[in-house]
Amino acid sequence: MRPILTGLSVALLVIGCSKDPTAQSRPLVRINERQITLAEFKTVFSRTVKPGQPLSAGERQELERAFLSQLVDRELTLDEARRRGLAVTPAELAAALEEHRRDYPAGGFDTMLKERGLTLEEWQSELTQNLLLGKLADQVVGERGRVGEMEMDAYYAVHRADFDRPAQVRARQIVVADQAEGERVLDRLRKGDVFADVAKSESLSPDAAKGGDLGFFGRDEMPPEFDAVFSLPVGKVSPLVKSDYGYHLFLVEEKRPAARLDRRDAAREIRALLEAERRESVYHEWLQELRGKATVEVDWRQLEPQP
């Protein structure tokens, strides 16, 4: 299990959690010896709300309360990770950064930073803290997150129908803005250019960074325009297909017939599912214990709508 609280590490970087009791006379929250004022919290919370997003007073209060609770948990767990001497190496950070960059098309990563109002240094700090919390979660859960064969057998017996698999294809796509651009790209493919390479350089879709790889999917898992791939032979490039997103070219790389996975074939999927549930449960039990040992004081009245 990896922490899901995106953006909170940046919040903590900005807030800094003052340790000086005279810095602000009325803190919104105290976390052990640290404190956060209402003004500091409001400044950071505003970065989590889309500009112009309409929120009633009640909706804003609910979001602020949820955000503050998450912020407190993150601060407690980061302190615990540091207390245990956990750290992220430069090599680990560099590998994670490269992995994240691959999820974006050319220039997309920088666009994401701009949209979130982050510098690269702030984003790297956020990533470092997420990696640190991932190490903490692994250490906390440990062997308690393991799932036995009997549990897997029982799950398969009850959920056997969940392992009926419809016919699937594994395909790649290239998405361009207009028909003329699509014809130009199609001409490159007909002349022998590698589909994945062309996708990386030409496609507007986020999967361009992976050579347009869409993975395996069934007929009802994609928009109707994608149905063309199910009648396309393996290794053949489709004609241009128009959708609301632009013009698509598809390449089918593999097909899977409809089937029911037996217990052995479903083992990896079952284990991943049950262990994710187990890890989540164990981690949250531990987090409850951590909260019980901490001194956390929140002046919730400061988040009430003002008359």
Res. 25 pLDDT band, cuts 50 70 90: low
Question: Is 0.75 topped by the overall pTM?
Answer: no
Res. 276 pLDDT band, cuts 50 70 90: very high
- Return all residues near 120 (Cβ < 8 A) that are at least 6 apart: 113
Res. 302 pLDDT band, cuts 50 70 90: confident
The dihedral over CA atoms of 12, 16, 17, 20, expressed in degrees to the nearest 10, equals: 180
pLDDT at 307: 61
Given a cut of 70, is residue 13 above it in pLDDT? no
Given a cut of 80, is residue 268 above it in pLDDT? yes
Instruction: Give per-residue pLDDT as tens, 125-181.
Output: 989 999 999 999 999 998 788 899 999 999 999 999 889 888 899 999 999 999 999
- Domains, the chain, ordered by start: 8-143+281-303 (1.10.4030.10), 167-257 (3.10.50.40)
Looking at per-residue pLDDT, the higher value among 136 and 4 belongs to 136
The span from the CA of 216 to the CA of 208, in Å, is 16
- Return all residues near 146 (Cβ < 8 A) that are at least 6 apart: 275, 278
Dig out the tokens for 189 from the structure: 């493919």
Given a cut of 50, is residue 200 above it in pLDDT? yes
What is the average pLDDT across 194-207? Answer: 92
pLDDT at 165: 84
pLDDT at 290: 93
Given a cut of 50, is residue 8 above it in pLDDT? no
Given a cut of 60, is residue 50 above it in pLDDT? yes
The span from the CA of 129 to the CA of 81, in Å, is 10
Query: What 3-state DSSP class applies to 138?
Result: helix
Given a cut of 80, is residue 119 above it in pLDDT? yes
* Residue from 261, 253, 255, 265 nearest 165 by CA: 261
Tell how strand 164-165 and strand 259-260 pair up.
antiparallel
What angle (nearest 5°) sits at the alpha carbon of residue 223, between those of residues 254 and 237? 40
Position of tokens 């109002």? 117
Instruction: Give per-residue pLDDT as tens, 51-100.
Output: 667 778 788 888 888 989 988 998 899 999 999 999 999 999 999 999 88
Whole-number percent of the chain with pLDDT over 90: 50
CA dist list (Å): 169 to 92, 218, 231: 34, 7, 10
Burial class of residue 290 (count of CB atoms within 10 Å of its CB; 0-12, 13-18, 19+):
middle
- Return all residues near 192 (Cβ < 8 A) that are at least 6 apart: none
Instruction: Give per-residue pLDDT as tens, 228-263.
Output: 899 999 999 999 999 988 999 999 999 989 888 899
DSSP 200: H
What is the chain's mean pLDDT, rounded? 86
